[in-house]
Amino acid sequence: MNENMTYDYFYGGESEQFSFYRIPRLLVTGDQFKHLSTDAKLLYGLLLDRMSLSAKNGWYDEQGRVFIYYPLEEIHNALNCSSGKAVRLFAELDTCKGIGLIERIRQGQGKPSKIYVKQFATKAVPPAPPSQDTDTPGFPESDSLDFSKQEVLTFQNETSRLSIMESPDFPKCVFVK
């Protein structure tokens, strides 16, 4: 089996004769996808490829979202895996059990499930900055750089001791002597 094989080069237009599945780089490099298996990432690439075909066929729901059909039998044939593994890969990507990159809608009566492939890169909305409220009661305006208004906290309850059942390290723990 240690025979040296000789492979020929691509010439002219031969280099464009193959189609490729595309797996987004973020699925490989993104921290949020580190726990996703490589097989699940490959399946997501297959689903993305199938989605472009569904869009060409006009498979849109009433909200304008593209959906695909990809039966488990085709998945385990394409990935050369058992149907059990194909189910696990779907679950890894699914909204209910996995990371949420796909959503499957069962149609019943022997019909295949509709699969919605979701965008892997979402637009995160940054949190709103704290309001610059200058009417904070009880604090005079100060130009001191030591403490800002947001750093000073007040507590209305006058007791500062711990209750009998609490310790500073373990609140609400009972210590037995």
CATH of the domain at 71: 1.10.10
Name the 3-class secondary structure at 116: strand
CA distance 111 to 117: 18
* Residue 134 included in any domain: no
- Report how far Cα 101 is from the mean position of its chain's Cα atoms: 6
Q: What is the pTM of this model?
A: 0.61
18-42 mean pLDDT: 89
Q: Are 40 and 91 in contact (CB under 8 A)?
A: no
- Looking at the structure of the chain, the number of domains it has is 1
Q: Which residues contact 21 (CB under 8 A, 6 or more apart)?
A: 42, 45, 46, 48, 49
CA distance 51 to 64: 13
**pLDDT 10s digits, 165-176:** 554 544 554 445
Name the 3-class secondary structure at 16: helix
Determine the pLDDT at residue 167. Answer: 47
Domain that holds residue 25: 20-117
The 8-class DSSP code of residue 159 comes to -
* Residue 137 included in any domain: no
Determine the pLDDT at residue 109. Answer: 87
CA distance 53 to 67: 10
What φ, ψ does residue 60 adopt, rounded to 5°?
-120, 145
